[in-house]
Structure 1
Amino acid sequence: MKKIIAYITGTLILGSVACNKDALNKGPLNLYSDSNIWKDSALISRVVLESYDGIHSIYDDAGNWMPMDITDEGKSARSFLQSNLINTGQYSPSTGIYTDVWSNTYAMIRNCNNVLAHLPDMPLSEAGKQQIKGEMLFLRALHYMDLYSIFGRFPMVTKVLSLNDDLTAPRGTDDDCVKLMLDDLDQAAALLPAAYPKTAAGRATKYAALGMKCRLLLNRKDYQAAAAAAKEVIDKGGYTLFPDYEAMFYPENDDNQEVIFNKEFAGDLSGQVHALDLYDNSAFFTGFSSLVDCPTQNMVDQYLMKDGLPWNQSPKFDPAHPYANRDPRFHASIIYDGTDWINQTMDLKLGSKYNPSTYSTAITGYMLRKFLNPKYIFNGTNGNYQNCIMLRLGEIYLNYAECQLKLGNAEEARTYINLLRQRAGMPVVPAGQLNWDTYVRERTVELAFEGQRFNDIRRWGTGATMIGAAITAVQISETNGVRSYKTVPLEQRYWHDKMYYFPIPQAQLQKYPAGKVPEQNPGW
Structure 2
Amino acid sequence: MRRTKPVLVLGVLAALVFTPACESFLDPSPSDVITPENFYKTSSDAVAAVNAVYEATKWSYWLGFWYISDIATDDIIAGPRFGSDGHRMSNYVFNATEWPMGSLWSGAYGIINRANAVLDRVPAIAMDAGLRDRVLNEARFHRALAYFNLVRSFGDVPLLEHEVTSLEGVRVSRTPVEDVYALILSDLQQAAAGLPSSYSGIEVGRVTSGAAQALLAKVYLTRQDWANAAQTSGQLITTGRYALLPNWKDCFKIATKVTNSESIFEINYDGTLDPGAGSVHTLFSLPSGFPGGDAYGLMTVAPSLAGLFAAADTRGLKGTFITSPYVDALGETVTWSDPPAALGPAFNKYLDETDFQNMHTRAWVAQANDWIILRYADVLLMYAEAVNEGGAPVAAMTAEQALNAVRTRAGIGAVSGLSTAAFRDSVRLERRREFVFEGQRWFDLSRWGILDAAIRAKTAELATISPGETDQHGVPSDLLPLPQSELNVNPKLTQNPGWF
Give the structure-1-normalised TM-score.
0.80
For the residues of structure 1 that align with 2:220 and 2:59, how far apart are their CA atoms?
20
**1:329 and 2:311 aligned:** no
**1:457 and 2:445 aligned:** yes
For the residues of structure 2 that align with 1:62 and 1:335, how far apart are their CA atoms?
25
| Unaligned ranges ≥5, structure 2 | 3-19, 23-27
Mean Cα displacement is larger for which, 262-271 or 92-101? Answer: 262-271
> C-alpha offsets along residues 15-61 of structure 1, whole Å, 9 cap, x if unaligned?
x979xxxxx75435xx1122333124434333322211221589612
SS of the equivalent of 2:62 reads helix
For the residues of structure 1 that align with 2:90 and 2:471, how far apart are their CA atoms?
5
Contact 2:164/2:170, CA 8 A, preserved across alignment: no
The partner residue of 2:379 within 374, 379, 396 is: 396
**1:343 and 2:337 aligned:** no
Contact 1:155/1:170, CA 8 A, preserved across alignment: yes
Contact 2:263/2:374, CA 8 A, preserved across alignment: yes
C-alpha change, 1:417 and 1:265, in structure 2 (3 Å) is same
The partner residue of 2:486 within 484, 502, 508 is: 508
C-alpha change, 1:152 and 1:81, in structure 2 (3 Å) is farther
**1:355 and 2:337 aligned:** yes
Q: Which has the larger radius of gyration?
A: 1
C-alpha change, 1:416 and 1:125, in structure 2 (3 Å) is same
Equivalent runs, 1:243-392 vs 2, <5 Å: 243-255=246-258, 256-266=260-270, 272-284=277-289, 285-288=291-294, 290-303=296-309, 305=310, 325-331=311-317, 332-343=319-330, 353-356=335-338, 361=340, 364-374=343-353, 375=355, 376-377=358-359, 378=361, 383-392=366-375
Contact 2:282/2:364, CA 8 A, preserved across alignment: no
What is aligned with 2:214? Answer: 211
Residue identity (%):
25
SS of the equivalent of 1:467 reads helix
For the residues of structure 2 that align with 1:49 and 1:111, how far apart are their CA atoms?
10
| Amino acid in structure 2 at the alignment position of 1:340 | V
Contact 1:334/1:367, CA 8 A, preserved across alignment: yes
Q: How far apart are 1:382 and its partner, in Å?
A: 6.7
What is aligned with 2:6? Answer: none
SS of the equivalent of 1:204 reads coil
> C-alpha offsets along residues 47-79 of structure 1, whole Å, 9 cap, x if unaligned?
322211221589612898463221110012245
For the residues of structure 2 that align with 1:246 and 1:393, how far apart are their CA atoms?
14
Q: CA RMSD in A?
A: 3.1
SS of the equivalent of 1:170 reads coil
SS of the equivalent of 1:98 reads helix
**1:60 and 2:46 aligned:** no
What is aligned with 1:318? Answer: none
For the residues of structure 1 that align with 2:48 and 2:299, how far apart are their CA atoms?
34
For the residues of structure 2 that align with 1:138 and 1:459, how far apart are their CA atoms?
22
Q: How far apart are 1:442 and its partner, in Å?
A: 1.7
The partner residue of 1:159 within 152, 159, 162 is: 162
**1:440 and 2:444 aligned:** no
For the residues of structure 2 that align with 1:422 and 1:381, how far apart are their CA atoms?
32
What is aligned with 2:71? Answer: 69
Q: How far apart are 1:196 and its partner, in Å?
A: 1.6
What is aligned with 2:5? Answer: none
Q: How far apart are 1:496 and its partner, in Å?
A: 4.2
C-alpha change, 1:91 and 1:446, in structure 2 (3 Å) is closer
SS of the equivalent of 2:456 reads coil
C-alpha change, 1:426 and 1:409, in structure 2 (3 Å) is farther
SS of the equivalent of 1:391 reads strand
C-alpha change, 1:167 and 1:25, in structure 2 (3 Å) is closer
Q: How far apart are 1:215 and its partner, in Å?
A: 0.9
Q: How far apart are 1:498 and its partner, in Å?
A: 3.1
Q: How far apart are 1:464 and its partner, in Å?
A: 2.7
Contact 2:66/2:439, CA 8 A, preserved across alignment: no
The partner residue of 1:415 within 401, 409, 415 is: 401
What is aligned with 2:492? Answer: 517
What is aligned with 1:176? Answer: 179
What is aligned with 2:17? Answer: none
| Unaligned ranges ≥5, structure 1 | 3-15, 19-23, 306-324, 348-352, 475-486
Contact 2:226/2:390, CA 8 A, preserved across alignment: yes
Contact 2:321/2:347, CA 8 A, preserved across alignment: yes
Q: How far apart are 1:373 and its partner, in Å?
A: 2.2
| Amino acid in structure 1 at the alignment position of 2:152 | S
What is aligned with 2:118? Answer: 115
Q: How far apart are 1:137 and its partner, in Å?
A: 0.5
| Amino acid in structure 1 at the alignment position of 2:371 | C
For the residues of structure 2 that align with 1:239 and 1:101, how far apart are their CA atoms?
30
Q: How far apart are 1:144 and its partner, in Å?
A: 0.9
| Amino acid in structure 2 at the alignment position of 1:244 | N
Contact 1:59/1:274, CA 8 A, preserved across alignment: no
Contact 2:91/2:459, CA 8 A, preserved across alignment: no
What is aligned with 1:47? Answer: 49
Q: How far apart are 1:263 and its partner, in Å?
A: 0.9
The partner residue of 1:33 within 29, 32, 35 is: 35
For the residues of structure 2 that align with 1:46 and 1:386, how far apart are their CA atoms?
24
For the residues of structure 1 that align with 2:21 and 2:178, how far apart are their CA atoms?
44
Give the structure-2-normalised TM-score.
0.83
| Amino acid in structure 2 at the alignment position of 1:249 | F
Contact 1:65/1:81, CA 8 A, preserved across alignment: no
For the residues of structure 1 that align with 2:65 and 2:143, how far apart are their CA atoms?
26
C-alpha change, 1:66 and 1:522, in structure 2 (3 Å) is closer
SS of the equivalent of 2:495 reads coil
Contact 2:59/2:275, CA 8 A, preserved across alignment: no
> C-alpha offsets along residues 483-514 of structure 1, whole Å, 9 cap, x if unaligned?
xxxx84665565445331111111111112xx
For the residues of structure 2 that align with 1:47 and 1:101, how far apart are their CA atoms?
22
C-alpha change, 1:287 and 1:441, in structure 2 (3 Å) is same
SS of the equivalent of 2:227 reads helix
Q: How far apart are 1:327 and its partner, in Å?
A: 1.3
Contact 1:76/1:83, CA 8 A, preserved across alignment: yes
Q: How far apart are 1:412 and its partner, in Å?
A: 2.9
| Amino acid in structure 2 at the alignment position of 1:246 | K
Q: How far apart are 1:466 and its partner, in Å?
A: 1.4
Contact 1:75/1:295, CA 8 A, preserved across alignment: yes
C-alpha change, 1:97 and 1:499, in structure 2 (3 Å) is farther
Contact 1:263/1:387, CA 8 A, preserved across alignment: yes
Contact 1:182/1:213, CA 8 A, preserved across alignment: yes
